[in-house]
A and B are shown apart, each in its own frame.
Chain A
Amino acid sequence: MSNRIARVVWGAFIALVGVALFVVYRHYFAGASGALRWVKDGIHYELLDPRALGLLLVTPLLLFVLGRSLADLPWPQRALSVLFRIAFLGLIALGLSRLVRSEETHKVCTVLLVDVSDSVPDDALADARQSIEQYARAKANDDQLKVVTFAERPRLIEIYQGEKLALPRVAQLRHHAADGKPLGAGTDIRAALALSYGLFPPAFLKRVVLLSDGLETDGDLLAEANRARGFQVTLYAVPYRRPPPGEVAVRSLTVPDKVDVGQSFEIVADVYASRAAHARARLFQGEALNGLDGVRELELKPGRNELKFQSVVRVGGEVTYALRLDELSQDTFRDNNAFSVTVDVPGRPTVLYVEGQPQRASYLMSALNAQQFDVDVRAASAFPASLRELERYDFVIVSDVPHEAFPLPAQELVERYVRDLGGGFLFAGGEAGYGLGGWAHSTIERLLPVRMDAEHRKEMPGVAMVLAIDRSGSMTGLPMEMAKAACKATLSTLQGDDLLEVIAFDSSPVVYVKMQPARYRSRIQNDIQRIQPGGGTEIFSSLDLAYRDLSVVQARKKHVILLTDGQAPSQGIKDLVQAMLSESITVTTVGLGEGANQDLLRSIADGGGGRFHAVPDPNSLPKIFTRETELIAQQAAVEDWFPVEQVAPADFLKGIAINAAPLLHGYVATQLKPPPAQLILQSERGDPILARWRAGLGWSLAWTSDLKNNWSIDWLRWSGFSKFWGQLVREHMRVKHRRELDMKTEMLGSDVHAVVDAFTADERFDNGIVSKLIVTGPGSAGSRRELAMHQTAPGRYEATFPLDQYGSFLLRAEHAKAGENGELKPLAMSYGHVTNPYPREYASFDPDLDRLARATLAGGGSIDPDPKRVFDPAGQKIVSYSPLWNRFVLAAIALFLLDLLVRRVRLFDRKFLPRQR
């Protein structure tokens, strides 16, 4: 064969090898994204990085170089050499491709989980420390031992310094924060177990030994024991058996689900004592000691002690009971010496009583209190701002409040309260009631069963009014001009039949406008315009003149308005005013500027049954006069003694001899609206005294007399007064038709789970309810939060929320359902309470051996194992993968030396025989 042919053949061979290697590599290794696996003789092999075998693709290069070799070697050695070099690279490639193979090991790694929570006494921890030493002695050299301590959270601790066991002291085993604060107020065994899963090195049998009292506050050991099996962990337990420390704890405080105001009931406390102990128990209702049964000296026996206290709630609402233990003969933890629970005691019906003269509200309030109503008296300015707040009341009374003091939003709230929420509403008269208070054509009038535009009494003029105007020198200028304007404004306010007289006075009175009907307006205005300032100030004579002129005219209302800006003698004025009042002539006084004798004017107004106005700015005089005239000129007030007459039957009048009721002394004249307005009581003249009708869902009532010691002064002394109003309110108050749905609450770890089951009247599931859960607490002064309850099954509504505070919490669920128009309508309520009094770590101290036993049963282990048994593989084996790359490197070294030998020592053709041709 010629050289050329040999080269061609050699080249073809190299190309063939190259192509073959490339094809094999591309097919089997280049596209492999993960490991390659195979089994041979029961042993699993795995090539973790098969692409590294691509190193063998240099083989054609080696062959090519060999073909061009200048080395003086016989061809067998050359062949050997290239084979060795390819094998060498093959071994390196196998090493790089990370060939591993499975093997069985029997090494054991044991993790000791040591409970160091507060419920564990120091003695038990010392025992645990000894146990760790026993386990350290029991382990074989190739076994491993790790220790995790746990309370609220788990921690891995180092127990070896080098090869030597160096256990922390007992006190050091407990957990503390960086600032030294102890962290033992909880036990989460589950978290400790979960932490251990990540501590087992590969190729070790996994064992966990739990050293604990079995009491847990978070997590669930039993569920985690199942998971441990899933991680191939065998769970053993060594229960702490030391007796619990001297400890007294209040475990529960049970108040009946339903507590009624005024009825005594029993509160049961469960007090745990680890040993016989003495203690003093104090039961608090709110901030005060429980009245019936507040303090007990206790001799507690070991275990559970039941205490019963009698209590009574006098006022409804949220009531918090707290049991506190002190003077304890032995105790370790203080947190668990108190327990509080809050209950919602349905209170008495509540009446909102808005009184224009709050200082005179006591009469009706006392009467309603006597009838078992809670009465909330407020001024008009403090009227609730929202329907939610108004909803708390069962009945609303607005009495003798002027219209301008009761803004439109408040009136609209009242209307919605009655119409939409079914509330009861009573509007009572008085000097500022009905027309007298300017309520005509108001929202409230629309709500009431009476109209306020009562017909005038034709038989006599409505009002006879005298304006007594100070025209002293000090009134010169703007004051006098404004006083004249005020007189003209008064004139324009009066009806044509009303009578008006204007007296201007200085040291003596001058009648500028004689008593005449107001219909002569232009003449009267001219007369007023003639008033000129004069000299001093003399009030008595002008009042006396006004008295004399008024006493001879016929009018239902006789009134004097006295305007002055200076000082005047007061002699005789008091008697004069009394005399005027005795003839139903009332006097209102207006003091202009700071120089006016306010004391005198105030006493005149008080004695004269009128009002006193201190006016610093003369510009406001017309407004004052107009307002005063409107009050007086309202044609509605009827002041006369009269008996009330019942004209229609009413349930609330049962048992009340209304015909024997005392006389009333006045009312505001109104007109009954057409049916369904219903007249119950009327005056002699047939005017409505008490009328009612249904307005929307609720009742609206009109009481045209007053509720205090003015027109009703004799009624206040009537024996039936309290009963009359009590029965009236009770019949017409808001009826809470809402259903109550049972709520079940339970604490799941630190979460509260609330469940409400809703059924319809025919015992089907009530679906599609929109429920809102309101949680308040801890205690009655705690925060408030709202969350939605979600429907999870037919008729079932649930909510879960975390409690991160300690104390007692009230739960109230409001259930609503969408009506036909899609609007939500209240449907039902649910009430519940939960108590999270203190960290649960301090609630139990007796070891829960049963929990530990069941956990080890689920975890495949046992209770109190011999440490040697824990480290004994007991035939168990674990399959692990060991890397083989170092073996290939060793082989490569050997091959390297062989290759060197082949190239450095002539092994063949040592006689140098000539080549055969």
Chain B
Amino acid sequence: MIFAGLPLAQLLMIAGAATALTVLLYVLKLRRRPVPVPFARIWDAVFRDRQATELFSKLRRLLSLLFQLALLALLILALGNPKPKAAILEGRHLVVLVDGSASMKAIDVKPSRIEVAKAEVRKLVHGLGSADRALIVEMGSLPSPLSTMSSDVTELDPAIDSLTASDTRADLERGLSFAVDSLRGLPKAEIVVVSDGVLGDSSELEKHVDFGGASLKFMPIGKSGNNVAISQFSVRRYPLDKSRSEVMLEVANTNDQPVQIELTLLGDGTIIDVSRIALGPNERLPRYYQDLAGASRTLEAKIRLADGRSDDLPADDHAFALMPERHRARVLLISRGNTYLDAALLLDEYLDVTTVPPGRPLPSEHFDVAILDGVADSLPDTVGAALYLNPPEDGSPAKLGHAIKDFGFDTWDKKSPILRFLALGDVQVAEGHAFAPGPSDHVLGASEQGPILVSGVRAGHKFVALGFDPRNSDLVLRVAWPLFVLNSINAFVEEDTGYVSSFRTGDVWRIPVPSSVDSATLIDPRGGKHTVPVKEGRAVYLGEEAGFYKLVAGSGSDAVSSEFAANLSDLAESSITPVSALSLGKARAEPVVLGAPGSKRELWVYLLAAVAALSVIEWITYHRRVTV
């Protein structure tokens, strides 16, 4: 037994003083009331009786004293908060992994699976032995411990209260690995998974997680899985005609019965389309909307069962997407005049082109891209990126190599967004220069005589350099020429067609931001602000909530804001039919046996309860003269 309350010395001191006072008060005799009697002889018999029962009377006094001392002892013992030594050494150690994924928002059990899970975990914790310790972990896409490994229900209860379900899938492997890490070296280790079992494919987990002797238990939650879901929702611009876009929406029925659903599309917050869709058993039905009218910025999709009933998981009945926003790119053209270049730039109405002859002072305002035609003037920091056409030796971002003649593109990086849709195989060039690119530069195109198209980064600014004057080739006569110019600009201003307007919750998002910023501010759908780090031009954030987000990079007048949407988009998570057993390959988790509620209480509670009971008994015995 150990004392976790007051130190033993203090306890002994209090006990000594209180006991001494108690005994002293019992040594004192209560002064009796003098009662005048009319005739003493009448009382003789009484006095004789009294003398005969004096011993019994003393015993009653002694009993009363013992009552008081027992009460005192219990109080002082409680003050010491005694704990069995086994509580420190030999109890079970539990990591309770509570599924915090989207499927736990299902309402097939009232009020919801996560609330039922919390109640069950509370029962589990309160049913633990006094020597047992538990760690409460919310298992989402990453495990989140909400308490320490503790036996104190005053710490565990708030942790249980704070459990929530997010719009992500649960990563069981990470959760189990975390549990194993937390239990390493602890005796009687147990991992309790509290979940509906919608945890993806767990059949291989036995091979990936070394339980190291910890036993695995499973507490199933949920009873049915009647659900329809929006399993994909995204918008994408067309690669060439960027003024137009296409929406993909996929609805899925995860049940074995056909259903009718009502699909509502909202553009900028107002309804733009309502339709009814029949879905067969376990059917996924994609729908595509080209040039959706009525939405200029935000798109939302909502589904519900056509008969008005609610399905079991409302969380995946609502999805978000943003219409891709086109920024007008500001282009600074430094050229003595190039008809082919001018013509190429005219093809994109979203370009604001400012032309400056070489040698003239450059405008001080911000430009996304500078195109340097046969020149390599030094550029101010206000210019984001640069496209060099036939740069001279002095000022070229990539060192010029030897002069070459009569060449073409023998190899080129077809996967580069700059060369997307370009056929360069039979381009003929009269003369130019090969580059000697730096170690971090990327050769986009090369002839047999050397690299002729190079990209890279200089002082934080991207560049692309072409080693010949396009007018000295038949490139300018081909469709490839304007595509090359526009692809380069798009690549610089991050308007690649690969951009898809929504992220998946539960993933680490890497959101493009200007490469010059160190951190950015992310505003989540509930308005919460987060300062997120930026690495290699991407803001990094683990998103767990579906909805519209806003990202602000930089500050003041240089701040650049962008918006994006996030969705669950996980059909596996929408297939919410609960399972009654959890198996990891051959291993099968054992069921959880709940202890009697209340057995977790500490000893001092019982001591105080005994004090209360004893106190009432003592009150009765005193006033009925059983004790005096």
The answer to the question of A466 belonging to the interface, with a C-beta cut-off of 8 Å to chain B, is no
Q: Are B535 and A904 in contact (CB under 8 A)?
A: no
CA gap between A61 and B142 in the complex, in Å: 56
Count residues on chain B whose CB falls below 8 Å from chain A CBs.
94
The answer to the question of A514 belonging to the interface, with a C-beta cut-off of 8 Å to chain B, is no
> Which residue in A95, A153, A881 is a CB contact (below 8 Å) of B177?
A153
CA gap between A456 and B32 in the complex, in Å: 153
The answer to the question of B135 belonging to the interface, with a C-beta cut-off of 8 Å to chain A, is yes
Instruction: Kindly provide the distance from the CB of A39 to the nearest chain B CB, expressed in whole angstroms.
Output: 17
Q: Are B25 and A901 in contact (CB under 8 A)?
A: yes
The 9 closest A-B pairs by CB, nearest first: A198-B145, A69-B623, A793-B234, A858-B533, A222-B540, A223-B542, A854-B533, A904-B25, A794-B246
The answer to the question of B192 belonging to the interface, with a C-beta cut-off of 8 Å to chain A, is no
Q: Are A906 and B18 in contact (CB under 8 A)?
A: no
The answer to the question of B516 belonging to the interface, with a C-beta cut-off of 8 Å to chain A, is no
Interface residues of A in 39-77 (CB under 8 A from B): 48, 55, 58, 61-62, 65-66, 68-72
Q: Are B624 and A791 in contact (CB under 8 A)?
A: no
Give every chain A residue within 8 A of B149 (Cβ-Cβ). 198
Report the nearest B residue to A897, measured CB to CB.
B21
The answer to the question of B22 belonging to the interface, with a C-beta cut-off of 8 Å to chain A, is yes
The answer to the question of A338 belonging to the interface, with a C-beta cut-off of 8 Å to chain B, is no
Q: Are B500 and A796 in contact (CB under 8 A)?
A: yes
Q: Are A220 and B540 in contact (CB under 8 A)?
A: yes
Instruction: Kindly provide the distance from the CB of B216 to the nearest chain A CB, expressed in whole angstroms.
Output: 18
The stretch among A413-421, A501-509, A759-767 that forms the contact with chain B is A759-767
Interface residues of A in 675-696 (CB under 8 A from B): none
Given contacts A220-B508, A763-B241, could you give 15 more A-B pairs where the C-beta distance is less than 8 Å? Answer: A66-B623, A71-B622, A85-B619, A89-B612, A191-B178, A195-B178, A222-B535, A224-B542, A854-B518, A854-B533, A889-B604, A893-B14, A893-B72, A896-B71, A896-B75
Q: Are B615 and A793 in contact (CB under 8 A)?
A: no
The stretch among B76-84, B396-404, B583-591 that forms the contact with chain A is B76-84
Instruction: Kindly provide the distance from the CB of B134 to the nearest chain A CB, expressed in whole angstroms.
Output: 11
The answer to the question of B541 belonging to the interface, with a C-beta cut-off of 8 Å to chain A, is yes
Report the nearest A residue to B500, measured CB to CB.
A793
Query: What mask results when residues 525 to 567 of chain B are scored 1 for a CB within 8 Å of chain A, else 0?
Result: 0000011111100001110000000000000000000000000
Q: Are B519 and A857 in contact (CB under 8 A)?
A: yes
Report the nearest B residue to A914, measured CB to CB.
B36
Q: Are B232 and A791 in contact (CB under 8 A)?
A: yes
Q: Which residues in B have some Cβ–Cβ distance to A below 8 Å? A: 5-6, 14, 18, 21-22, 25-26, 28, 30-34, 68, 71-72, 75-76, 78-79, 81, 135, 137, 142-145, 147-149, 154-155, 157, 161, 174, 177-178, 180-182, 184-185, 232, 234-236, 238-241, 246-248, 250, 286, 288, 290, 411, 413-415, 421, 439, 497-498, 500, 508, 518-519, 530-535, 540-542, 569, 604-605, 608-609, 611-612, 615-616, 619-620, 622-625
Query: What mask results when residues 213 to 250 of chain A are scored 1 for a CB within 8 Å of chain B, else 0?
Result: 00000001011111101010000000000000000000
Instruction: Kindly provide the distance from the CB of A157 to the nearest chain B CB, expressed in whole angstroms.
Output: 9
Q: Are B508 and A763 in contact (CB under 8 A)?
A: no
> Which residue in B75, B143, B232, B533 is a CB contact (below 8 Å) of A792?
B232
Give every chain A residue within 8 A of B439 (Cβ-Cβ). 304, 306
A191 and B177 contact, Cβ closer than 8 Å, known pairs A304-B439, A792-B569, A794-B248: yes
> Which residue in B157, B182, B615 is a CB contact (below 8 Å) of A195?
B182
Q: Are A765 and B246 in contact (CB under 8 A)?
A: yes
CA gap between A199 and B184 in the complex, in Å: 13
Instruction: Kindly provide the distance from the CB of A231 to the nearest chain B CB, expressed in whole angstroms.
Output: 8
Q: List 25 A-B contacts (CB under 8 A).
A: A65-B623, A69-B623, A70-B624, A70-B625, A71-B623, A72-B33, A85-B619, A89-B616, A156-B185, A191-B177, A194-B142, A198-B149, A220-B508, A763-B238, A791-B250, A794-B234, A794-B248, A796-B236, A857-B531, A886-B79, A889-B75, A890-B79, A893-B14, A897-B18, A901-B25
Give every chain B residue within 8 A of A92 (Cβ-Cβ). 608, 611-612, 615
Q: Are B535 and A854 in contact (CB under 8 A)?
A: yes
CA gap between A194 and B155 in the complex, in Å: 19
Report the nearest A residue to B530, measured CB to CB.
A226
Q: Are B541 and A223 in contact (CB under 8 A)?
A: yes
Give every chain A residue within 8 A of B147 (Cβ-Cβ). 198
Instruction: Kindly provide the distance from the CB of A224 to the nearest chain B CB, expressed in whole angstroms.
Output: 8
> Which residue in B148, B155, B508 is a CB contact (below 8 Å) of A199?
B148
Q: Are A792 and B144 in contact (CB under 8 A)?
A: no
The answer to the question of A396 belonging to the interface, with a C-beta cut-off of 8 Å to chain B, is no
Give every chain A residue within 8 A of B241 (Cβ-Cβ). 763
Interface residues of A in 484-511 (CB under 8 A from B): none
A202 and B148 contact, Cβ closer than 8 Å, known pairs A858-B533, A893-B18, A903-B622: yes
Give every chain A residue within 8 A of B624 (Cβ-Cβ). 65, 68-70
Q: Are B155 and A202 in contact (CB under 8 A)?
A: yes
Report the nearest A residue to B411, measured CB to CB.
A256
CA gap between A890 and B15 in the complex, in Å: 11
CA gap between A664 and B454 in the complex, in Å: 61
Give every chain B residue within 8 A of A100 (Cβ-Cβ). 154
Give every chain B residue within 8 A of A191 (Cβ-Cβ). 174, 177-178, 181
Q: Are B542 and A854 in contact (CB under 8 A)?
A: no
The answer to the question of A294 belonging to the interface, with a C-beta cut-off of 8 Å to chain B, is no
CA gap between A34 and B162 in the complex, in Å: 13
Instruction: Kindly provide the distance from the CB of A495 to the nearest chain B CB, expressed in whole angstroms.
Output: 63
The answer to the question of A789 belonging to the interface, with a C-beta cut-off of 8 Å to chain B, is no
Report the nearest B residue to A177, measured CB to CB.
B210
Give every chain B residue within 8 A of A69 (Cβ-Cβ). 623-624
Instruction: Kindly provide the distance from the CB of B546 to the nearest chain A CB, expressed in whole angstroms.
Output: 15
Interface residues of A in 512-555 (CB under 8 A from B): none
CA gap between A85 and B611 in the complex, in Å: 12
Instruction: Kindly provide the distance from the CB of B246 to the nearest chain A CB, expressed in whole angstroms.
Output: 4
Q: Are B533 and A793 in contact (CB under 8 A)?
A: no
CA gap between A765 and B236 in the complex, in Å: 9
Interface residues of A in 92-122 (CB under 8 A from B): 92-93, 95-96, 98, 100
Instruction: Kindly provide the distance from the CB of A316 to the nearest chain B CB, expressed in whole angstroms.
Output: 19
The answer to the question of A24 belonging to the interface, with a C-beta cut-off of 8 Å to chain B, is no
Q: Are B148 and A194 in contact (CB under 8 A)?
A: no
Interface residues of A in 153-175 (CB under 8 A from B): 153-156
Instruction: Kindly provide the distance from the CB of B80 to the nearest chain A CB, expressed in whole angstroms.
Output: 9
Give every chain B residue within 8 A of A883 (Cβ-Cβ). 154
Interface residues of A in 378-392 (CB under 8 A from B): none
Instruction: Kindly provide the distance from the CB of B11 to the nearest chain A CB, expressed in whole angstroms.
Output: 11
A194 and B145 contact, Cβ closer than 8 Å, known pairs A763-B238, A883-B154, A905-B28: yes
> Which residue in B75, B154, B232, B609 is a CB contact (below 8 Å) of A48?
B154
Interface residues of A in 137-155 (CB under 8 A from B): 153-155
> Which residue in B157, B604, B612 is a CB contact (below 8 Å) of A885?
B604
Give every chain A residue within 8 A of B79 (Cβ-Cβ). 886, 889-890, 893
Give every chain B residue within 8 A of A881 (Cβ-Cβ). 154
CA gap between A568 and B178 in the complex, in Å: 90
Q: Are B500 and A792 in contact (CB under 8 A)?
A: yes
Give every chain B residue within 8 A of A851 (Cβ-Cβ). 535
CA gap between A191 and B178 in the complex, in Å: 7
Instruction: Kindly provide the distance from the CB of B254 to the nearest chain A CB, expressed in whole angstroms.
Output: 15
Give every chain B residue within 8 A of A757 (Cβ-Cβ). 497-498
Give every chain B residue within 8 A of A93 (Cβ-Cβ). 612
Query: What mask results when residues 731 to 770 of chain A are scored 1 for a CB within 8 Å of chain B, else 0?
Result: 0000000000010100000000000010100011101100
Report the nearest A residue to B173, measured CB to CB.
A802
Query: What mask results when residues 842 to 866 of chain A are scored 1 for a CB within 8 Å of chain B, else 0?
Result: 0000000011001101100000000
Give every chain A residue within 8 A of B611 (Cβ-Cβ). 92, 892
Give every chain A residue within 8 A of B144 (Cβ-Cβ). 194, 197, 227, 231
A900 and B236 contact, Cβ closer than 8 Å, known pairs A92-B615, A227-B144, A793-B500: no
Q: Are A906 and B81 in contact (CB under 8 A)?
A: no
The answer to the question of A795 belonging to the interface, with a C-beta cut-off of 8 Å to chain B, is yes
CA gap between A716 and B318 in the complex, in Å: 74
Give every chain A residue within 8 A of B541 (Cβ-Cβ). 223, 226
CA gap between A910 and B32 in the complex, in Å: 9
Instruction: Kindly provide the distance from the CB of A61 to the nearest chain B CB, expressed in whole angstroms.
Output: 7
Report the nearest A residue to B536, measured CB to CB.
A850
